[in-house]
């Protein structure tokens, strides 16, 4: 599924990316070489409920081979969860 050019431009502005190639590299960058999982695949798994590197792998029907990607996947999960967390109102204690 491809996005219209305006959606890509708006995403690039939001993420402060200045060139189309940087945006494509970010979307298509391979995170897990053994299982061919890219950034987009990790984000899809997190959106579907994956909250650990192992859950991301399971979402795509695979398991870790070398495990070198687990830290990168964990960092991506944390970053995406930080973006999705709604700000909670601060209440004064009585």
Q: How far apart are CA 85 and CA 37, in angstroms?
A: 25
Alpha-carbon dihedral 77, 53, 25, 7, rounded to 10 degrees: -50
Q: What is the pTM assigned to this prediction?
A: 0.62
Q: How far apart are CA 90 and CA 94, in angstroms?
A: 13
Strands (E), the chain: 30-32, 37-38
Assign 46 a pLDDT band (cuts: 50, 70, 90): very high
Reduced to 3 states (helix: H, G, I; strand: E, B; else coil), residue 69 is: coil
Output 61 or 12, whichever has higher pLDDT.
61
pLDDT at 49 over 90: yes
Interstrand relation of 37-38 and 30-32 (parallel, antiparallel or unpaired): antiparallel
In percent, the amount of the chain with pLDDT more than 90 equals 43
Output 77 or 94, whichever has higher pLDDT.
77
Residue 57: its pLDDT value, please? 95
Output 3 or 9, whichever has higher pLDDT.
9
Mean pLDDT of the 75-94 span: 76
């Amino acid at each position: 599924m491809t996005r219209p050019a305006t959606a890509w431009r708006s995403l690039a502005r939001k993420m402060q990316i200045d060139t189309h190639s940087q945006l494509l590299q970010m979307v298509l960058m391979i995170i897990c070489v053994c299982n061919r999982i890219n950034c987009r695949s990790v984000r899809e798994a997190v959106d579907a409920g994956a909250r650990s590197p192992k859950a991301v792998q399971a979402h795509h029907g695979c398991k870790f081979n070398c495990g070198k990607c687990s830290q990168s996947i964990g960092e991506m999960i944390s970053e995406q969860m930080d973006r999705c967390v709604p700000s909670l109102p601060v209440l004064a204690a009585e």
